[in-house]
Amino acid sequence: MKNLSFSRGATLLARFRRQEEGVAAIEFALIAPLLVTFLLGTTMATQSLWANGKVAQVSSVIGDLVSQETDLDRKIFRSIVRVAPVLMEPYPADGMVVVVTAGIACYEDPDDTADAKPKIFTAWSAKWEGGNRVSRGQRPNVEMEDAPTEISILEGDYIVQTRVTHTYRPTITQKAGYSIDLDEIAYHQPRNAEPISFEQLEPAKLKTCDKLMNR
């Protein structure tokens, strides 16, 4: 009797071991969430890289267009920055901020600039946040924020800094409220090597390098 019971138990155990039809389903149920997470993460990363590339393109193109001008005003500036939504397609440009700042290079000793690093002081700065409004950006007659440190430039020459910031919200995570802050800066020098004026945003009296450097 004991041997019969043991034989039946062994037979049932062997049959149980042979039933592998549900193993694949169980394995898939365990792995599927990881695969979906990996797929969504890869998609979001790719979209974010593309969006960041678009923001970099906006900063580069706007800076290049501004560097071709010699006398700006709000009307001309608006016509330039309105290329931003076009360049951002197919991504939305809502909430994008463009700040273009013109700076002047000054040295401690203008006669010895070979190995010296210049200080860049803001001449004027224009800020655009969409629509028709153009406001002041950085303060004039102070050192430019995030100015380039390694640059070959003569005293008194101008440099144009174009900074574009944008909050990108990936499509697949919009409902979760997830967003990525993008920030790109481009630098250009005037095409004709002359100062770029923006009378409406320039201070009443723009200081010279002698005064800016307290020489």
Residue 145 belongs to some domain of the structure: yes
Residue 14 belongs to some domain of the structure: no
pLDDT digits (tens, 9 = 90+) for 16-39: 555 555 666 676 677 767 777 777
Q: Strand 71-72 vs strand 197-198: parallel, antiparallel, or unpaired?
A: parallel
> pTM here?
0.78
Residue 74 belongs to some domain of the structure: yes
209: nearest Cα among 70, 110, 67, 102 = 110
* pLDDT at residue 174 tops 80: no
Q: What is the mean pLDDT of residues 130-147?
A: 92
Q: Are 203 and 141 in contact (CB under 8 A)?
A: yes
Domain of 161? Answer: 23-212
130: left (phi over 0), alpha (psi -120 to 50) or beta: left
User: What is the domain count for the chain?
Assistant: 1
Confidence bin at 183 (pLDDT 50/70/90): very high
Give residue 198's pLDDT: 95
Residue 88 belongs to some domain of the structure: yes
User: What gap in Å lies between CA 121 and CA 144, rounded to an integer?
Assistant: 5
Residue 96 belongs to some domain of the structure: yes
Residue 115 belongs to some domain of the structure: yes
Residue 67 belongs to some domain of the structure: yes
Residue 17 belongs to some domain of the structure: no
Q: What DSSP element (H or E) covers 158? A: strand 158-168
Q: What is the mean pLDDT of residues 188-212?
A: 91
Both structure tokens of 42 = 């890869």
